[in-house]
Amino acid sequence: ELDGDGNPLLGATYPSGETAAGGFVTVHTDEEGVYTFENLPTAYTDADGEHYLAAYRVVLNGLHKDVVTDDDGNELYATPWMMTHYHQGDDVAADSDVRDSASPVQASYKVIGREDVDGSTALRALDGQIILAAKV
């Protein structure tokens, strides 16, 4: 269920793999605080046979929004998901960056495209490659 702005209603829950109107899938954390999204497609084909890579945007509802307004008070944009700013603090290896191997997750993707531990060089693995999943 969506509100008037097209956002999922607080408390509306859809099992992984089911979609609400507009393609939203809403999940809540388990008792360990872990979000799990199952069976998300990596690519899709439209009615004309064109192939596209799937993309996802994760929105954490209920967090403080950093709202930017113009001189007349009109909202220009709001950033609802910034719990902490990237590299907030002096230790770039242990501050606000998401860890890539947090327990109790058994299988996970490493977060790639981050800076090296010195914070000086941008690294991107698999740059320019397209990886499609197939049934096993």
8-49 pLDDT tens trace: 555 555 554 455 556 666 667 777 777 776 666 677 777 888
Average pLDDT over residues 5-10: 58
Q: Judging by beta carbons within 10 Å of its beta carbon (0-12, 13-18, 19+), is residue 26 exposed, middle or buried?
A: buried
Pairwise CA distance, residues 16 & 129, whole Å? 27
What's the confidence (pLDDT) of residue 72?
95
Contact 102, 111 (CB under 8 A): no
Contact 46, 24 (CB under 8 A): no
Quote the tokens at residue 104: 């109790």
What is the residue extent of each domain of the chain? 60-123
What is the separation, in whole angstroms, between the first and last Cα of the chain? 34
Name 28's Cβ contacts closer than 8 Å, sequence gap at least 6: 13, 35
Pairwise CA distance, residues 56 & 15, whole Å? 17
pTM: 0.29
What's the confidence (pLDDT) of residue 130?
53
What's the confidence (pLDDT) of residue 74?
92
